[in-house]
Amino acid sequence: MPVNIHDSWKSVLKEEFEKDYFKELISFIKYEYQQHTCYPPGNEIFSAFDYCPFEKIKVVIIGQDPYHGPNQANGLCFSVKEEIPHPPSLINIFKELESDIGKPYPKSGDLSYWATQGVLLLNATLTVRAHEAGSHQKQGWEVFTDAVIQKISEQCNDIVFLLWGGFAKKKGRKIDAKKHHILTSGHPSPLSANRGYWFDNKHFSQTNAYLKSIGKAEIEW
Which residues are designated catalytic? 65
CA-to-CA distance for 82 and 48, rounded, in angstroms? 16
CA-to-CA distance for 131 and 169, rounded, in angstroms? 26
CA-to-CA distance for 108 and 81, rounded, in angstroms? 8
Main-chain dihedrals φ then ψ at residue 156, nearest 5 degrees: -115, 170
CA-to-CA distance for 176 and 127, rounded, in angstroms? 27
Contact predicate 136/127, CB 8 Å: yes
CA-to-CA distance for 51 and 6, rounded, in angstroms? 7
Contact predicate 47/4, CB 8 Å: yes
